[in-house]
Structure 1
Amino acid sequence: MIRVLNLLTVLALLGSAIYAYSIKYETVLRAETIMHLKHAIKNKQDQIGMARAEWAYLTRPERLQALADKLLDLRPIALNQIVKADALPNKGARVDGIGRKLEALGLDQPTTTPREGGSGDAATPTSAQR
């Protein structure tokens, strides 16, 4: 009986050692994964910083002005080009053909409805008139 208890104790000790080793191995593996992810994040942050720096370099006003002067055939602004807003043509007004036809027929005036208590010239027929 004592030998069986000794054997069970040794087996329990080996099982707990294997379990502790597996936990340690998973911990080391996850720590390495975290370090790889931190390095990847840092690399992406550096790439974003480089892209922002390149964008700031490419969009400098003096650089763009030099490119515009070199590549675009721009003329300087003349004094007769500057006008008041009232002198500009009204491009926002649209021509409404149907509306003009209704105005010509005199149908652009608002009509009265029975709810408004109108004079009765636009009233609906009643059952007594039928």
Structure 2
Amino acid sequence: MVRILNVLAVFALIGSAIYAYSIKYETIFHAERIVKLKHEIKKEQDQIAMLKAEWSHLTRPERVQALADKFLDLQPLGLRQIVSADALPARGAKGDAIGDKLEALGLSEPTNTPGGGAGAPVTPVR
């Protein structure tokens, strides 16, 4: 009986050692993964900072003005082009395209629901 208990104790010791080593190596694996992810995050943040700097360099007002002068044939605004609000044409009537289609189909009138008037209960009364 004592021999069986000793064998069981040895197997329990071996099993717990295997479990401890597996936990240790999982922890090491996850720690290495965390370090890799932190490195990737830092790399992405550096790329974002570089892109922001590049964007601010490319959208400088003097650069945009030089490109507009070079590639766009813009003319200065003439006095004849400035008008008052009264000289603008009247705004067209605002239409409801869906409502117009429903009227054309004859579906604009309210529909009658079967089983009573507007005050009829939705659920049947028992």
Instruction: Look up the match of 2:72.
Output: 72
Kindly indicate whether structure 1 or structure 2 has the higher relative contact order, using CA contacts under 8 Å at least 6 residues apart: 1
Unaligned 5+ runs, structure 1: 97-130
Instruction: Look up the match of 1:86.
Output: 86
SS at match of 2:24: helix
Unaligned 5+ runs, structure 2: 96-126
Q: Any runs of at least 4 consecutive aligned residues in structure 1 with deviations exceeding 6 A, and if so which?
A: none
SS at match of 1:66: helix
Q: Which has the larger radius of gyration?
A: 1
> Shift in Å at residue 4 of structure 1?
3.0
Instruction: Look up the match of 2:17.
Output: 17
Q: Deviations over 1:50-109 (max 9, x none)?
A: 22222222222111111001111111122222221212223x225x9xxxxxxxxxxxxx
For normalisation by structure 2, the TM-score amounts to 0.64
SS at match of 1:73: coil
Q: CA RMSD in A?
A: 2.0
* Counterpart mapping for 1:1-130 below 5 A: 1-90=1-90, 92-94=91-93
